């Protein structure tokens, strides 16, 4: 499985040879990209291309994020909860490149089924992807609304702020009562 992943990832990375001009200055540097529990190690080869490699003990840079952050990047272009360590310039450059990498499925399919059929499959695939993305977002919003309104599993932001304000009020009341008790205890002890 690991060998197949390496072959596929390197094929997609080599299809995007435009990145070489941006990465040549990082020749022989390594980077770890960790998404939840999945760790992938890459090296910048002498041509300036990213290459998927085996595990490296001390990568020059690392980018870590939970799967939720990856989904938010793909769906909403939000960059939250991402941790970068090591060579910041390398991590930033690789991050920007990975956002722009595309797998040219049509090119690969054209070698098997021909140019015209591959083009039509590509168009159909894009439509399916876009529709499934819309449906996924719609379902996620429906679940969110259900969990906020019908079965409150998730709290709305204003409810959380209201709850925190009530806790602050209770805390202040307790402090005032504590001060009165201390004051009374001093009067009684005299």
Cα 132 to the chain's mean position, in Å?
19
21 is written with which tokens?
């001009």
Q: What is the pLDDT of residue 61?
A: 92
Helix, strand, or coil (residue 112): helix
Asked if residue 60 has pLDDT above 90, the reply is: yes
Q: What is the pLDDT of residue 10?
A: 63
Q: What is the pLDDT of residue 23?
A: 82
Q: What is the pLDDT of residue 3?
A: 65
For 58, phi and psi rounded to 5 degrees?
-130, 85
Q: Which residues, in sequence order, are CB contacts of 45 under 8 Å at separation 6+?
A: 27, 51
**For residues 39 and 70, what is the distance between their CA atoms, to the nearest angstrom?**
14
Q: What length is written for the chain?
A: 190
pTM for the predicted model, two decimal places: 0.51
Domain covering 2-100 in this structure, CATH number: 3.30.1050.10
Mean of pLDDT over the chain: 78
């Amino acid at each position: 499985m690991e060998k197949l992943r390496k072959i596929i990832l390197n094929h997609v990375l080599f299809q995007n040879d435009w990145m070489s001009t941006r990465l040549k200055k990082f020749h022989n540097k390594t980077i770890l990209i960790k998404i939840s529990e999945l760790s992938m190690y890459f090296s910048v080869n002498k041509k300036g291309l990213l290459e998927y490699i085996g595990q490296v003990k001390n990568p020059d840079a690392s980018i870590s994020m939970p799967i939720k952050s990856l989904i938010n990047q793909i769906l909403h272009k939000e960059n939250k909860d991402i941790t970068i360590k090591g060579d910041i310039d390398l991590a930033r450059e690789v991050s920007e490149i990975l956002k722009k990498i595309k797998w040219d499925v049509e090119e690969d399919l054209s070698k098997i089924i021909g140019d015209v059929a591959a083009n039509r499959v590509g168009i159909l695939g894009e439509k399916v992807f876009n529709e499934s993305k819309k449906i996924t977002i719609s379902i996620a919003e429906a679940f969110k609304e259900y969990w906020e309104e019908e079965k409150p599993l998730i709290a709305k932001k204003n409810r959380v702020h209201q709850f925190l304000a009530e806790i602050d009020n209770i805390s202040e009341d307790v402090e005032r009562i504590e001060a009165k008790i201390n004051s009374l205890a001093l009067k009684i002890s005299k």
